[in-house]
Structure 1
Amino acid sequence: MSHLRATAARGLRRSGGRGALRRKGASPRGAAPAPAPAPPPSRHLFSDPAEIEALRGHLLAWYDKCKRDLPWRTLAATELDADRRAYAVWVSEIMLQQTQVATVIDYYNRWMQKWPTLQALAQASLEEVNELWAGLGYYSRGKRLQEAARKVVSELAGQMPRTAEDLQKLLPGVGRYTAGAIASISYGQATGVVDGNVIRVLCRMRCIGADSSSPAVIERLWDMANALVDRSRPGDFNQALMELGATVCVPKAPLCGECPLKQHCQAQRRVEKELAFASQKLFGKRAPVSDVEDCGLLAGLWEFPSLPLAQGLQEEKQREVLADHLQAWTGRPVAAGGLRFIGEVVHIFSHIHQTYVVYSLSLDGDVTLDPALSPSRWVTEEEFHASAVSTAMKKVLKAHEKQRGEESSPGKGSKRKRGAKLQGASSTCPGTQLSLRAFLRAPKSP
């Protein structure tokens, strides 16, 4: 499915190489520098206690029935000594970093047979550790694990830290995820975990389309994981969430029909809505479909001035519609002829393809943005990189730079000669993705 949006690609600029961004769905803040991101919409959160309780029950019931039989899980469930239990989980988590479960099992069994306790590992030589680790890859993991074991024995009297905070603080090589896994599985601390599998499950359940690698989104997902974790069985809940992502909610062709959480999944609901829409379209009926951008954690992100376009709108009409929009936004006349067509940028969100029809606009002199009309601000290149900007907007900026580069070097692979007539959006290859440095440079003095 394809959506069209007309976007003024950072074309609103002034001396100093500054461009205009506006916050999607945020309250007006005028030109204040880098305000904090707005909270995500409620549909991207788990705010209903009844739903959270039901989700926990459904997930844990599935896990009890379908979980894989793995040696570290057996040790965690049967070992009575808390330090040995934590050590067993710790070893598994380190080995599982960047390595598949099937590969880790044999290495884990040999490791635990040779060094069943922290004390045994602390007495081993690095040569022995590397020898057993051979073939598992990323040898620094084994080295750091042994160094941390020696620290526990020599500095902590052989006792593992008992909280996620202390595990992360006191043990070298133990990050936020590993600390949360050890603390929840070994000690029953009600703390969540966020790894690649959990990110995928949570983003799909709440239909989050923002860049899941960005620090702001990751932090939101940690908040979500901590809110969801079952208080009575935190270790099992975290393992169940990771298990779901590894076996059912997989990256490609997820087994949605087998998912115990499908009734809580916003992405599944959206798929059903799109299928219904496609069915209605076949029979000549057309139901409104919400903009794909609204599916992401975009209420706190910044976007270029843009508006939805009707399908099949000609370029001349596109210019007029966008010019009227920008005129209302800037509070000054904007001529449709001053808008320069850049091209089309395609952004893929899940099963939906969104097409941005990109135009640029140069403005002379300073343009003051009225905070009462729109929550917008001018930004420099440095401020742009420090702002919360969606992936789609980054693609739009890249499109602008590519055109500038082609125009400045017409003899080096440019498909359009200098001074040639601009073509309509339909003549541009979809998916054009270009850079943003040239656009953000200050304009040269005449």
Structure 2
Amino acid sequence: MKRKQLSSSTDEDSAAGSSSLPGSGEICSAHSFQDDFEVSSIRSNLLGWYDENKRDLPWRKCSHNDVNRRLYEVWVSEIMCQQTQVGTVINYYNKWIKKWPTVERLAKASVDQVIEAWAGLGYYSRGRRLLEGSQVVMNDLDGKIPHSSAELMKRIPGVGRYTACAIASISCKEPVGVVDGNVIRVLSRMRCIGADTSQPATMEYLWSLANNLVDHERPGDFNQSVMELGATVCTPKNPACSTCPVSGYCMAYKKVEREKKLSEERLSGKTPDENENVKDIEDTASCSMCLPSSEPWDKAQGVMNFPRKAKKKPPREQKNGVCLVQKMTNDGHIKYLMVQRPEKGLLASMWEFPSVEISPDCTETKRREEEEQYLNLLGVKVQKINQRSSLGDIVHIFSHIRQTYEIDLVVALEDDITESEPETDQNMKWVTSKEMEDMGISTAMKKVFGAIDGSTTNKNKRRKQDEKNQPKLDRFFKRKTPSKT
């Protein structure tokens, strides 16, 4: 989704000042925060809870007074945490900061070094954008990272609205809110936002709520407190409402508790007071933020009625033939042919085994023909194949693609492989399995390579030989005998 900058609120802005947005239609007043006392209480409760319960994360520690370095550290952490679990990011972040502790050091890195450090985090274009951004800072901004969210978005490639506001609020205390998946969930439940959160008008309204709610004294801590709440308490499934520090200000929770009370009164024989003076939202057809009549409140779901999203399209199916070319070198090593992907697009600049897209009904014979044609384009010709086998299929799910790899293994001696001028500008090289560990290869390609181990009868021996990187040639030509059971 393309993000547009929203001007931050001022101290004079009323808490309920964003009851409507241009083009958004009528919005019930209950979808906004109603008064200054409510806003003040939410801020106080969230910050108090955050101070006592925040997770111990490396990017939250600051042992220096260098603002530029602090901006860089938060920038790296925010890019890494996008669409990746925090638990996964910690180790990557620590290694990254150890390798490139400043924006100046990162700007001197190569694309291959960055991809290698990013391998396994997914969404690899994020690492490239970090590198590009650091080079812009050093080449165009005299090494100084902008302090404001507006300048960050304007000057740094790959920094959008959320990232800019997070960096500026945490590092420089700019009083702007943030809206990510966790914040969307928290705000949608607190204000019963039933509109589709994938729509621009809904996102703009959530941004207005976040900007009105942010604490002006501790904007960075407040923004992190909302995100922390969404990650640990107000979770997508099984939220821990009983431990939530702002449940008293949550419209969805109040609706659940009110329905529970009415049900208990009916069961006990009491006449429930249907007109009890409890602030509630009755979904209004004319309100653009209420639950749509086509998808009304589901009692069984409780607060999990919110947020509402458009149903995701299933990932498209794609099938590729992958050719693992294994070269037995004259000095007794095993090397594999690797090709570098284009600089743009899926898995940009990552290294992979020669791979060609094939039709869903492609036969094995046709697949191997297409793989051979691709090798010829690379200038690689296998004159004599000592072993050829199919290693089966593996499936890897990208965000929008369900990718099936059909894997072929081709084993040949070094003298039986010729190389000529390639007809493509793709980079390629021969690497050992040990060298492969230090390259930027995707999780999908690691799965593909793992199929080799899955095709052998003695995995432990194979692993030891790969580690030594000096297997004997005759191992590949001896007849295998069945292992004893």
**Are 1:112 and 2:100 counterparts?**
no
Alpha-carbon distance change, 216 to 101 in structure 1, aligned in 2, over 3 angstroms: same
Q: Deviations over 1:50-93 (max 9, x none)?
A: 11111111110100000000000113xx3311111000000001
Matches within 5 A, 1:24-423: 36-75=23-62, 78-283=63-268, 285=271, 288=274, 294-295=282-283, 299-300=287-288, 347-349=295-297, 351=299
Q: Deviations over 1:334-377 (max 9, x none)?
A: xxxxxxxxxxx6x35353689xxxxxxxxxxxxxxxxxxxxxxx
RMSD of aligned alpha carbons: 3.0
Distance 2:285 2:64 in 1: 42
3-state SS, counterpart of residue 64 of structure 1: helix
Q: Deviations over 1:395-422 (max 9, x none)?
A: 9xxxxxxxxxxxxxxxxxxxxxxxxxxx
Alpha-carbon distance change, 121 to 55 in structure 1, aligned in 2, over 3 angstroms: same
Q: CA deviation at 1:257?
A: 0.9
Structure showing the higher helix proportion among its residues: 1
Runs of 5+ in structure 1 lacking a partner?
Answer: 1-25, 27-34, 307-344, 355-389, 396-446
Is 1:208–1:297's contact at 8 Å kept on the other side of the alignment?
A: no
Distance 1:49 1:263 in 2: 15
Distance 2:148 2:100 in 1: 24
Q: Deviations over 1:227-281 (max 9, x none)?
A: 1100000000000000000000111111111111111111111111110222233
**Identity across the alignment (%):** 51
Distance 1:298 1:107 in 2: 48
Kindly provide the amino acid, as one letter, of the partner of residue 54 in structure 2: K
**Structure 1 counterpart of 2:339:** none
Is 2:75–2:163's contact at 8 Å kept on the other side of the alignment?
A: yes
Alpha-carbon distance change, 265 to 117 in structure 1, aligned in 2, over 3 angstroms: same
Is 1:44–1:297's contact at 8 Å kept on the other side of the alignment?
A: no
Instruction: Mark the structure with the bigger radius of gyration.
Output: 2
3-state SS, counterpart of residue 349 of structure 1: coil
3-state SS, counterpart of residue 186 of structure 1: helix
Kindly provide the amino acid, as one letter, of the partner of residue 184 in structure 2: I
Q: CA deviation at 1:222?
A: 0.4
Query: What's the TM-score once normalised by structure 2's chain length?
Result: 0.54
Distance 1:303 1:48 in 2: 23
Q: Deviations over 1:197-248 (max 9, x none)?
A: 0011011111222222221111111001001100000000000000000000
Alpha-carbon distance change, 109 to 297 in structure 1, aligned in 2, over 3 angstroms: farther
How many equivalent residue pairs?
283
**Structure 1 counterpart of 2:358:** none
Kindly provide the amino acid, as one letter, of the partner of residue 128 in structure 2: K
Runs of 5+ in structure 2 lacking a partner?
Answer: 1-18, 312-485
3-state SS, counterpart of residue 63 of structure 1: helix
Q: CA deviation at 1:37?
A: 3.0
**Structure 2 counterpart of 1:412:** none
Distance 1:73 1:110 in 2: 16
Distance 2:284 2:125 in 1: 37
Distance 2:215 2:228 in 1: 15
Kindly provide the amino acid, as one letter, of the partner of residue 48 in structure 2: A
Distance 1:113 1:201 in 2: 34
Alpha-carbon distance change, 69 to 158 in structure 1, aligned in 2, over 3 angstroms: same
Distance 2:130 2:219 in 1: 24
Distance 1:46 1:241 in 2: 15
Query: What's the TM-score once normalised by structure 1's chain length?
Result: 0.59
3-state SS, counterpart of residue 143 of structure 2: coil
Is 1:210–1:296's contact at 8 Å kept on the other side of the alignment?
A: no
Kindly provide the amino acid, as one letter, of the partner of residue 44 in structure 1: H
Q: CA deviation at 1:293?
A: 8.1
Is 2:284–2:290's contact at 8 Å kept on the other side of the alignment?
A: no
Distance 2:283 2:160 in 1: 31
3-state SS, counterpart of residue 142 of structure 1: helix
Distance 1:160 1:120 in 2: 14
Kindly provide the amino acid, as one letter, of the partner of residue 62 in structure 1: W
Kindly provide the amino acid, as one letter, of the partner of residue 161 in structure 1: P
Distance 1:296 1:171 in 2: 42
RCO higher in structure (CA 8 A, sep ≥6): 1
Q: CA deviation at 1:294?
A: 3.0
3-state SS, counterpart of residue 282 of structure 2: helix
Distance 1:197 1:128 in 2: 32
